[in-house]
Amino acid sequence: MKDMDRGHQMHSDVVDRGLGQDPFVGSTLIGMYAECGFLEKAKNVFDKLPTKDAVAWSTLIAANVKNGNEEEALNLLAKMQMQGVIPTAAALVCALKACGCLGDSKKGQEIHADIARLGLLAIDTDIGNSIVYMYATLGMLAIAQEVFAALDVRDRFSCTALMTGYTEHGHSEDALALFDCMQLETISQDAVTFICALTACRNLQDSEKTQEIHVEVARRGFIHKDVNVGNVLVDAYTACGWLAKAVEVFESLPVRDVVSWTVLISGFTKCNEGERALQKFERMEQEGIVPNSHTYVCALQACGSIEEEEQGQVFHAEISRKGLLDSDVFIRNAVVGMYANCGLFAKARELFDQFKIHDTVFWNILISGYLKHNCNMQVLDSFREMQNENTKPNSVTYTYVLKGCALLGAVWDGQRVHSDIARVGLTEDFDIGNTLVDMYCIWGLLPEALQVFKLLPERDAVSWTTIIAGYVRNGYMEDALDSFDQMLNEWFSPSAMTFACVLKACSVLALKGRGQGIHTGICIYYPLELDSVVRNALIDMYARCGLLKDAERVFVQLPVKEAASWNALIAGYSQTGKNDQMLCLLDQMIKSEQYPDVISFIGILTACTHMGLVEQGILFFRAMSEDYGILGNLEHLTCVVDLFGRAGQLSNGMLLIQKMPRHPNLVTFHTLLSSSRREGNMDLGLELFVHAIEVDEGNTGTYVTLFNIYVGAGD
């Protein structure tokens, strides 16, 4: 307990008794004032000491480090040495900590050299541990490991110091390996050690190791002794996507502080559970916990993720009332991000313009909102405006802008941005490289995509999936399967999206054996069979290959049947002429309250066409807009034209073409042209021929069909 009134009284008593200049008493007073945060008073006591011994210097150095004045602490160490006072171990430990906090590797290495010269490393474990911690904090892990290996005694402090460096600098696997070594060598572990290990689990999203450590911290009682351990455990589970376990740990915490709540809310937000995140925020306030800035940031992100603009505006009002908007840059970014993610761009831009300083992160937040809502022209406009303000884009900016260019079809802009990226030396960035490959694939520029892909310094699973998806998108199915084989040969684990792409390739090529082999591999080696994307792709592959029993088997096993699942089987029945089964499946779909969508109706109308069910087909076409609110596209209209044509109702087909809200394409004209050939209607065939060559004069199929009409008519 810090009682400064009593402290001042004791200081007065010391002076009255003539002990104010005693070095020991002086050092004690310095420590007292430092503990209470009164650095000036501590320095006054120090300055009045006639003789400043090593303890007095060390106490003042420690006081400055404790109160965040690391630079002054290092200045004091220099003055101490200049006056010929040999630093104590405590002074050196504090100085090493100051170097770590300041990121001053040069000064840290100088102090390390002094320690080695004085021979202190071998006789004081605290100094050795502090050197390890300093280098680990600075990210100089090779030197930290070297010092660690040279220590005569490696205890929990040195191990935890090195683990901290590993987790903070992207070496979480090494942190967990060291943690396991500590257990094997029976080195004691404290709460900080377990916090480091759980942080590593969070970084790696290692749910199995998290659960293993959870058992150990529960056995030792750390969850109930130290709220920080519980908070990090909740964070680790949410990072692994194991929200049920995170909530279980959270509810078991004897004390839940604002950090506990914020970690849970943040976890729900990151797992795309924005609604549940906001429910936790409401409960937190009901329990009397006051949100901090980080809590508000998480809550605003939750609002943006589910486009809950009303609640977001409530948070904005609270934040403004508390004066946080102008004082906290993270709050500022989150508020603008919330409005942008909700599509309220006028409000987002109004707030954005209120702040005079627009850094890279601030621009990225605005651009991200535009990209989310497919406002790709605004993505490019904002990027140009950002450059006009001389704000330097980073890799995130370039990734967003490349995606905007890809979706907008802005080839020239995309290539110019690619040149900018090369100029600033970011072509080796993983995300940028993968996005460039995807951009060129979307445009159908496969040679350019392959060139970028081959020049990537390293290729990860995302890189391979991107090029495989590009091949499939552009109809190069054999190349997609070849790339998949190369990906496996290089020991990359395919994702659900990878499997969906290669299964699509198998379905288009009707490679049922290859498709079955991939399915077997999924079941044996990858925990992805239950993934809805993979299962829907399996249904589609089996259905297109005519293996309807296998398609039905996968369909029945689905825990949740999405529209895509129904559509895949509907399309399979339709394409293989199983039209009665298709209509029966449609009835089941509607009864299960999963209503047909745009894709469903293509299969339905195709089936009606093959069965000659004109009236039923027209009823389905009308129901599409009247009952389900779906506006038919050109593909649906072409199905109905085909329906009329196959039934011999050529005039109705032509009337529909003439009334189409958008200009028909070549497929539409060819559909009715083929029906004209079957019906021997030369006049209509000639009229359709004229329309078809207006769309594509060089298409040989149009001329062949007209020739066949004349042949059929005997001319």
Predicted pLDDT of residue 1: 43
CB 588 within 8 A of CB 556: no
Q: What is the DSSP letter of 492?
A: P
Quick one: which of 552, 553, 560, 503 has its CA closest to 526?
Answer: 503
Quick one: which of 62, 149, 123 has its CA closest to 97?
Answer: 62
Over its C-alpha atoms, the chain yields an Rg (Å, rounded) of: 35
What gap in Å lies between CA 94 and CA 428, rounded to an integer? Answer: 40
Question: How does DSSP assign 253-281, residue by residue?
Answer: -S---HHHHHHHHHHHHHTT-HHHHHHHH
Q: Is 353 buried (19+), middle (13-18) or exposed (0-12) by CB count in 10 A?
A: exposed
SS3 content of the chain, % helix, strand, coil (to 5): 75, 0, 25
What residue type is 77 in one-letter code? L
What gap in Å lies between CA 73 and CA 138, rounded to an integer? Answer: 18
CB 528 within 8 A of CB 493: no
Residue percentage of the chain with pLDDT more than 70: 93
Ramachandran bin of 272, using left for φ above 0, alpha for ψ from -120 to 50, beta for the remaining angles = left
Chain-centre distance for alpha carbon 448: 27
What residue type is 376 in one-letter code? N
Contacts of 67-71 with CB under 8 Å at 24 or more apart are 67/34, 67/37, 67/39, 69/39, 70/97, 70/98, 70/99, 70/101, 70/102, 71/98, 71/102
What gap in Å lies between CA 8 and CA 6, rounded to an integer? Answer: 5
CB 631 within 8 A of CB 642: no
Predicted pLDDT of residue 14: 54
CB 496 within 8 A of CB 528: yes
What residue type is 149 in one-letter code? A
Predicted pLDDT of residue 2: 52
Model confidence, pTM: 0.78
Domains located in the chain, CATH noted: 587-712 (1.25.40.10)
Each residue of 97-136: b (16+ CB within 10 Å) or e? bbbbeeebbebbbebbeebeeeebbeebbebbbbbbbbbb
The helix/strand/coil state of 69 is: coil
What residue type is 451 in one-letter code? Q
Q: How far is CA 382 from CA 278, 360, 393, in A?
A: 31, 12, 11
Largest Cα–Cα distance of the chain, in whole Å?
Answer: 132
Successive 10-residue mean pLDDT values, the chain, 715 residues: 51 50 64 70 73 82 86 90 87 92 92 87 85 93 93 90 94 95 92 96 94 94 92 95 94 94 96 95 96 96 95 96 90 96 95 91 96 94 95 96 94 95 91 96 94 92 96 95 96 92 94 94 74 88 90 88 85 80 85 83 82 84 83 82 82 82 76 78 78 74 72 61
Quick one: which of 51, 55, 54, 34 has its CA closest to 43?
Answer: 34
Predicted pLDDT of residue 130: 92
The helix/strand/coil state of 502 is: helix
CB 312 within 8 A of CB 281: no
Predicted pLDDT of residue 358: 92
Quick one: which of 491, 490, 498 has its CA closest to 470?
Answer: 498
What gap in Å lies between CA 140 and CA 56, rounded to an integer? Answer: 32
Question: How does DSSP assign 5-67, residue by residue?
Answer: HHHHHHHHHHHHTT-TT-HHHHHHHHHHHHHTT-HHHHHHHHHH-SS--HHHHHHHHHHHHHT
